[in-house]
Structure 1
Amino acid sequence: MPLWLMLWIAPVFGQKNMREKLFAFPVKSSTSYVRISPDHNGPFREASVCMRFHSDLTWGYSLFSWSTKTNVNSFLIYYYPGSGNQFYQEVYGYNHRYYLQDNITEWTSMCVTWDSSVWGLFIDGKYYKVNMKTDVEISGDPIVIIGQWQISHGGGFYASWSFAGEMTDVNMWDKALTDENMMDYFADNEMSGNVINWKALNYTLHGDVTIKPYVDPYPCVHVVL
């Protein structure tokens, strides 16, 4: 096969500082997603994922899917908009639904955290916390995907469960973030994950996902007195 043809059909990939950039998913699809290569694979007995996203979808979509050969839903984050208005979190067979007070209609900043005793969702300044006894460990070579729910390890995607919209500032840590950590993330205080780092991201684009500039919809305004 000619080299130019191999380059044309290969997924777009790279490692780069994604600051002030976003991934745009134009429509629900079973073929569009971003695969991320984490900086290390664990094992994890606690973890946190933060991101910012916007979508006009009125039915459910997957935001983050960490799959291993031993458990396809090692770490899953899924959102149900509309009347249900809930986030679904799954860690190695355990799961919880967070019922939100307000519907998400604009750009949203979100952190999901987990350790052996407490799970939490911090979203737009509101903290939802639950006591969950989950003495589990996530280990093994992962496949990490944003924008799709892995039904099988690395695949089995359904368009009806996929994400359409825009996503940025995706970071992951191998620890449960504190309340102060999450507030720092929301305040854009230059927090970077040590498992997935948005400012040094290893990724491959698949399908119709594109990279676009990200402009903060809620910039800080400095008042001069």
Structure 2
Amino acid sequence: MEFVLLVVMLTSCAAAPQDLSGKMFTFPQETKQAHVKLITSRQDFGAVTLCQRSFTDLKRDHALFSLSTSSNPNDFLIFWDATNGEMEPHVGNSKVEFGDKDYKRNMWHSICTTWDSTSGLVQLWLDGQPSIMKFMNSRNISGPTAIILGQEQDSHGGGFDLKQSFVGMMSDVHMWNYILSSCEIRNYMDYRSFTPGNVLNWKALEFQIRDRVLLENKEMTCP
């Protein structure tokens, strides 16, 4: 009976948006099945700001955020290229590389990425430090989306690769359909008050857990 209950828990679907303040998703093992699907009704993006926190000990490549549409599995992807030591935002069929980033293992990192289709500019913030802005040829992201944490999509909603899966913890995922101001990004980075995401809001998140992903209390620093 306990095993059956565990299986039900690990394949649960959130019936309504939940406030995940003080919570985190734990991905405890390398797998090509376990993931969290994040649900939004928005289907057209001319700009994006994405902020999230993660903790991992992985030495290999892994995806931090994967948004696909039916026309492109990598319409908005944040990917760590361990071989080259680069954080790589992908939009459509394009990507930019941000190297020389202090993305250390076994510690929490706060990561924000901004992209604007009008200017083509992409910027990455890591632990409060902004990168330069880089140009990327891109178009609007449009169509039904599949947003996945824990895996990188090679097809719309699937095509997962064991060696690109995420192992560790993730928390505080927010997404906006506009460029967040630098002051708001700094507030997010510093755990101060900020405007919650209007696409994905960690305090009102609709999600589905598939396979072994656990929703746990986030570890807090003791005084």
Q: Normalization by structure 2: what TM-score?
A: 0.89
Instruction: Identify the residue that residue 125 of structure 2 maps to in structure 1.
Output: 122
Q: Which residue identity lines up with residue 21 of structure 1 in the other structure? A: K
Give the one of 198, 209, 213 matched to 1:205. 209
Is the CA contact 1:115–1:134 (under 8 Å) kept in the aligned structure 2?
no
Tell me how far 1:178 sits from its aligned partner.
Answer: 2.1
Instruction: Identify the residue that residue 173 of structure 2 maps to in structure 1.
Output: 170
Instruction: Identify the residue that residue 26 of structure 2 maps to in structure 1.
Output: 24
Secondary structure in structure 2 of the residue aligned to 1:198: coil
Tell me how far 1:74 sits from its aligned partner.
Answer: 0.8
In 2, Cα distance between equivalents of 1:175 and 1:216: 31
Tell me how far 1:166 sits from its aligned partner.
Answer: 0.3
Coordinate RMSD, CA, aligned: 2.1
Secondary structure in structure 1 of the residue aligned to 2:159: coil
Q: Which residue identity lines up with residue 11 of structure 2 in the other structure? A: P
1:54-65 aligned within 5 A = 54-65=55-66
In 2, Cα distance between equivalents of 1:74 and 1:36: 15
* Mean Cα deviation higher: 132-141 or 203-212: 132-141
Instruction: Identify the residue that residue 92 of structure 1 maps to in structure 2.
Output: 92
Deviations 1:28-66 (A, max 9, x none): 11010000102x323111101100110001101111111
Instruction: Identify the residue that residue 102 of structure 1 maps to in structure 2.
Output: 102
In 2, Cα distance between equivalents of 1:94 and 1:177: 22
Secondary structure in structure 1 of the residue aligned to 2:144: coil
Query: Paired residues, what number?
Result: 213
Deviations 1:58-99 (A, max 9, x none): 101111111111111110001134x63210110111111110
Tell me how far 1:134 sits from its aligned partner.
Answer: 3.2
In 1, Cα distance between equivalents of 2:130 and 2:220: 22
Structure with larger Rg: 1
Instruction: Identify the residue that residue 50 of structure 2 maps to in structure 1.
Output: 49
Tell me how far 1:129 sits from its aligned partner.
Answer: 2.5
Deviations 1:107-160 (A, max 9, x none): 100101101321000001211122315351111111110111100111110110
In 1, Cα distance between equivalents of 2:101 and 2:159: 32
In 1, Cα distance between equivalents of 2:217 and 2:60: 26
Runs of 4+ in 1 over 3 A off after TM superposition: 7-10
Q: Which runs of 5+ in 2 are unaligned?
A: none
Instruction: Identify the residue that residue 149 of structure 1 maps to in structure 2.
Output: 152
Q: Normalization by structure 1: what TM-score?
A: 0.88
